[in-house]
A and B are shown apart, each in its own frame.
Chain A
Amino acid sequence: MLHNLNIGELADRLAKRQISSVELTRHFLGRIERLNPALNAFITLTAERAMQDAESADRLLAGGARGPLLGIPLIHKDIFCTDGVRTSCGSRMLDNFVAPYDATVVARLKAAGTVMLGKSNMDEFAMGSSNETSYYGPVRNPWNTAKVPGGSSGGSAAATAARLAPFATGTDTGGSIRQPAALTGVTGLKPTYGRVSRFGLVAFASSLDQAGVFAHSAADASAVLQVMAGFDPKDSTSVDVPVPDYSAALGGPLKGLKIGLLREFFEGLEAGNAALIHDALKIYRSLGAETLEVSLPHLPLSVPTYYVVAPAECSSNLSRFDGVRFGYRCDKPADLLDLYTRSRGEGFGAEVKRRIMTGTYVLSAGYFDAYYLKAQKVRRLITDDFRAAFEKVDLVISPTTPTPAFDIGAKMHDPVTMYLNDIYTIGANLAGLPGVSLPCGFVDELPMGLQLVGPHFSEAKLLNAAHQFQQATDWHRRAPRGYE
């Protein structure tokens, strides 16, 4: 079936004119129509526009044009601005917001000839680990629709897992690509901070946000990253470092690769999860890699550090939503202060307001030194720990999440318990490192993820290590029942 082919196979069939982009697009739109009602993975479907994009890709193909993503359908997380298409960020605040321009990621993928099927559901303003904070309702996990898909890019993850598109974009501020990828059994890549442009991506925490991809394999993710990555003068934190040929790096032998096990993450690991990681380590050893234990002593402080830094940046970034220039405005404001406070109070959901208030508190007079400044210092200690570890090893390995997907509603009453879902993923964001989550088996019939993290700009090495694992295993080919 077309939805089980990888991006390379699809591009090959399109190039040989065995299928057209219109047929491919129709196939995925049909699946979305049939399968999405049980998942709620979309906020906006762009079927009409997708058919136009597909027709134009077919014209280019007929004219002899070729490209690794030409004519391939995709889904964008609804955090990326899409010119002329609603960009809600999962919030009532932006329910009526039609983006007036394309994010650089969207523009690059459009220029590569991709076909946008729609915009995926997400936690409101990307604040959440379960996709339950969306104004548009929770997304359901295709492996078990009583379970969450993870968050914040839960719609992109669930849609990729359900084979509703060959790939989807996402963003990762504290694990929002890797955690949902793990909980839905797909491959999720968060590149190095600055590798992919943040221009046109609705900002949450600017020193942590990074755009990335969900795909069915590391090889597919490589093809997509190739297009997404690169310098962008419109993003002041974009880094002008050459983009290597990621696909060419796949296939390199792992002999001599040193993989570090993070001691802090293996203490207290639940048995089923530990067994999967140890199986993965055996596979890596059989491929010639060496595994050794490393310690990052400050890593246990990564979650409290993050929950100071990220809310502080969010409280500042979200001050732009004031009911004046765009977004939600309250009814009949009495005066300007009432306009601000009620537009924000009614336009934002509970978790977003909680984060804004946390950030306001840690930045306020009398608390700044104890919280924000302290967190910035601990952030450096955590980053230095990673740097020291990468003097001994090439990559570090850990589970992506402490548990498989949990029940919808199970953790919504207790924010701190919810925040601890990100315990294994947050370190990479604080240090700006690239990370990938790949399927490594099942616990309680739910998929689990293995996380690899490498030094800055080591995506090629990381993706090859993931690819080699996927050559030796078939976890990434498993589809949820009913979505095969």
Chain B
Amino acid sequence: MSLTRQDVEKIAHLARLSITEQEMPVYVTSLSSIVNFVDELSRADVGSVLPMAHPLDGQHQRLRADEVTERDHHEKFQLNAPAVAAGLYVVPRVID
């Protein structure tokens, strides 16, 4: 199966990735070859096998007491932020 340029544009939009004009043909070709490759799975007879999401059986989500165990680190964490003002992350205006 081959992906079209429109397919790749749609995927890139869903993934919130800007793709340049130069990159586009490379992705159309390479994503098509990957999709062809993983299409091999269609020949597997899986019958009523249950999907497996986790490699260890019998693991379940652990719960913990609903207690505060962390102190506030926001100042340290925001040292890595591209733009901060008054302890808030700054992004382009969303609401006029």
Chain A residues in contact with chain B, CB under 8 A? 96-98, 100, 193-194, 207-208, 233, 236-237, 239, 298, 301, 303-305, 307-308, 315, 319, 322-329, 333-342, 344-346, 348, 350, 353-354, 356-358, 360-362, 364, 370-371, 373-381, 383, 414-416, 419, 429-432, 456
Contacts and interface: CB of A to CB of B under 8 A. Distances in A.
A100 B38 contact: no
A308 B52 contact: no
A377 B51 contact: yes
A304 B37 CA distance: 7
9 contacts: A100-B73, A301-B41, A303-B37, A307-B38, A344-B16, A360-B15, A361-B31, A375-B41, A432-B55
A229 to B, nearest CB: 15
Given A193-B56, A380-B50, A415-B34, A336 B91 contact: yes
Chain B interface size range:
35 or more
B62 A308 contact: no
A155 to B, nearest CB: 23
Contacts of A236: 61-62
B6 interface: no
Contacts of A432: 55-56
B79 to A, nearest CB: 7
Nearest to A96: B80
B73 A383 contact: no
A305 B49 CA distance: 15
A439 to B, nearest CB: 27
Contact of A356 (B17, B41, B89): B17
A357 B51 contact: no
A361 B91 CA distance: 28
Main secondary structure, interface of A, reads helix
Nearest to A457: B56
Contacts of B35: 358, 361
B40 interface: yes
Contacts of A333: 92
Contacts of A98: 79-80
Nearest to B3: A361
Nearest 10 Cβ contacts at the A-B interface: A432-B55, A345-B18, A376-B51, A329-B82, A380-B52, A326-B80, A377-B46, A341-B18, A360-B15, A304-B38
Contacts of B23: 350, 353
B17 A357 contact: yes
B18 A379 contact: no
B51 A298 contact: no
A333 B18 CA distance: 12
Given A358-B34, A374-B46, A353 B82 contact: no
Contacts of A364: 11, 14
A96 B81 CA distance: 10
Contact of A430 (B3, B7, B55): B55
Contacts of A340: 16
Nearest to A194: B56
B14 to A, nearest CB: 5
Interface in B56-96: 56, 59, 61-62, 64, 73, 76-77, 79-83, 89, 91-94
Nearest to B90: A324
Given A350-B23, A360-B14, A381 B31 contact: no
B30 interface: yes
A354 B30 contact: yes
B59 A353 contact: no
Given A336-B91, A345-B17, A379 B34 contact: no
